[in-house]
């Protein structure tokens, strides 16, 4: 046991700069809370959040446009009710046509 410790200590003493560099890279690359690995995960999370912000911004702009349309055009409310909620007047019939997306139908 003592021989192995002396051999390891001799290796560390002879290659002290390489050992210190290895420990430094290990700490910077993996162990530290600000490591390169955690920075990679943070950058990935930031990209995902920016994409989510873009999606919500587009949805907000679309909804704002629809709201302005509903406030300025009286027929827009009727059109939206018919298109999105399948509402109808008393003298109308509604036919909903949906495409079959199952692979078995082909």
* pLDDT-based confidence at residue 71 (cuts at 50, 70, 90): confident
Render pLDDT for 38-58 as a digit per residue (tens, 0 to 9).
Answer: 889 999 999 999 999 999 999
Name which of 97, 96, 71, 74 is nearest 86 in CA terms.
96
Domain limits, the chain = 1-32, 44-98
Are the beta carbons of 70 and 64 closer than 8 angstroms?
A: no
Name which of 46, 47, 28, 49 is nearest 37 in CA terms.
28
Q: Is the dihedral of CA 69, 71, 72, 73 positive or negative?
A: positive
Q: How distant, in Å, are the alpha carbons of 28, 35, 38, 50, 56 from that of 44? A: 19, 14, 10, 10, 19
Angle of CA points 25, 30, 31, to nearest 5°: 95
Residue 17 has pLDDT above 70, yes or no: yes
The structure's pTM equals 0.53
Token pair belonging to 80? 């939206």
């Amino acid at each position: 046991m003592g021989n192995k410790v002396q051999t390891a200590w001799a290796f560390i003493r002879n290659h002290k700069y390489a050992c210190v560099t290895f420990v430094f890279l290990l700490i910077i690359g993996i162990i530290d809370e600000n490591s390169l690995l955690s920075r990679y995960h943070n950058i990935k999370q930031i990209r995902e959040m920016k994409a989510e912000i873009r999606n919500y911004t587009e949805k907000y702009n679309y909804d704002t446009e629809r709201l302005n349309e509903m406030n300025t055009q009286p027929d827009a409310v009727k059109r939206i009710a018919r298109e999105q909620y399948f509402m109808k007047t008393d003298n109308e019939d509604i036919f909903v046509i949906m495409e079959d997306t199952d692979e078995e139908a082909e």
